[in-house]
Structure 1
Amino acid sequence: MKEIPASQAYRLLEPGPIVLVTTSQNGKPNVMTMGFHMMIQHAPPLIGCVIGPWDHSYQTLRNTGECVIAVPGLDLGETVVDVGNCSGDRMDKFQRFGLKTRPAKDVSAPLINDCLANIECRIVDTTLTDPYNLFVLEATRVWINEDRKERRMMHHRGDGTFTVDGGTLDLKDRMVKWRHLP
């Protein structure tokens, strides 16, 4: 076996698909790319997200306490990377990258029509925000875009490369301990 630096452990334990996070304050929406997030629990549905002060969306999220997590498909790969390479304090990223939006139901941040799914969220815990830039969000509404033909998601490997979802392994009949979950 070859040893690699411990600082690269995230490349092996990548938490899930790369996502887009929308926020809005004073009528000005923004979108950012995020790779560090995790499910914390099933019910209520809690999501942990790392968004730091280096991100333009950080202060808006702190001020408003709400956002949308949008899950893009593989066909948005280049757009997702490009959104992450620029700052919303200098431009309207929705216009620049042609992302189509629609209003959310419970939060001021917009949904992204181009994505596979959108999750409306509200902050429920900020005790880990100052030391670790970790926001705990509760999902309040989930929207699925069933019309999307491209259903594969991308998982960032931390070096500019991505793993892409492929097939599905169905082991539901073996998951006896978790049958009570939806």
Structure 2
Amino acid sequence: MSKVKTKVVSFPVPICIASSIIEGKVNFATYGCFGLLAPRPIPYVYIGSVEPHYTNIGIKENGYFGINIPSVDQIKETDYVGLVSGHNTDKSNVFKTFFGKVDKAPLIEDCPINMLCKLIKTVDLPGRDIFIGEVIETYVNQECITDGKLDFKKINPLLFTSANAKYWELGNIIGSAYKEGKTMIQP
């Protein structure tokens, strides 16, 4: 096998739409730098945001933000709220919203997955804010659950690769974690 030296490799990640309230108005922003830090016992997520993003103001002021996972069907709206800035564009009517138990961060009704997050820490990197949030509540569209579990084929999350700025969708299940490698364990 031959290796080629390259720049940082970008893997497909779920895109998210962060939601916040700024000066009493709902705002949305698309993020490709998003992930789960710890699922248990307390779930934490992060989003990485360029410092001048308008959404950062609402997250810092309110101490809460929404994480909304769009499906591939929402590609145009998702791309749009990432293209225009809330500094000069009102994006409050792009999506229908609802609130969880805290009214400081709207959640997008049409997105299959929503997480209400309490800001725990902001990490300042050169030119970026990394927001770490504790997931307070999670919502999933009822039609995206099969046999009591999340059905990712039905969720059909929009994926993103920053290396080539492309959107992707999920493929097929090819195995089960914590099971496939068991045959290699020596007794």
State how far apart, in whole Å, the 1-side matches of 2:135 and 2:9 are: 24
> Which residue in the other structure is 2:138 paired with?
142
Alpha-carbon offset, residue 169 of structure 1 = 3.3
Counterpart residue number, 1:21: 18
Counting only pairs closer than 5 Å after superposition, residues 149-160 of structure 1 correspond to structure 2 as 151-158=155-162, 159-160=164-165
Q: 1:65 aligns with which of 59, 63, 66?
A: 63
Contiguous gaps of at least 5 residues in structure 2? 145-152, 183-187
Question: Considering only CA atoms, is the larger Rg found in Structure 1 or Structure 2?
Answer: 2
> Which of 29, 33, 40 is the equivalent residue of 1:32?
29
Q: Which has the higher strand share?
A: 2
Out of 161, 164, 168, the position equivalent to 2:169 is 164
For 1:44 and 1:54, the matched residues in 2 are separated by 30
Shift of 1:3: 3.3
Instruction: Give the RMSD, CA atoms, in angstroms.
Output: 2.4
Matches within 5 A, 1:1-182: 1-4=3-6, 6=7, 9-11=8-10, 13-14=11-12, 16-42=13-39, 43-95=41-93, 97=94, 99-126=95-122, 128-129=123-124, 131=126, 132-147=128-143, 151-158=155-162, 159-172=164-177, 174=179
* Paired AA for residue 167 in structure 1: N
Which AA in structure 1 matches 2:158? Answer: M
Relative to total residues, which structure has the larger helix share, 1 or 2? 1
Paired letter, 1:108: K
Q: Partner residue of 1:180? A: none
Q: Judge which range, 76-85 or 160-169, deviates more.
A: 160-169
Residue 150 to residue 174, structure 1, CA distance change in 2 (3 Å): closer
Q: Is the CA contact (8 Å cut-off) linking 1:37 and 1:48 kept in structure 2?
A: yes
**In 1, are the aligned partners of 2:25 and 2:92 still within 8 Å (CA)?**
no
The number of residues matched between the two structures is 169
Gaps of 5+ in 1: 178-182
Q: Distance in 1 between matches of 2:5 and 2:48?
A: 27
Contact map agreement 2:15 2:159 (CA 8 A) in 1:
yes
Equivalent pair of 2:100/2:116 in contact (CA under 8 Å): yes
Q: Identity percentage over the alignment? A: 22
Change beyond 3 A, Cα 1:58–1:160: same
Contact 1:74 1:150 in 2 (8 A): no
User: Runs of 4 or more off by more than 6 Å in structure 1?
Assistant: none
Q: What TM-score do the two structures reach when normalised by structure 2?
A: 0.80
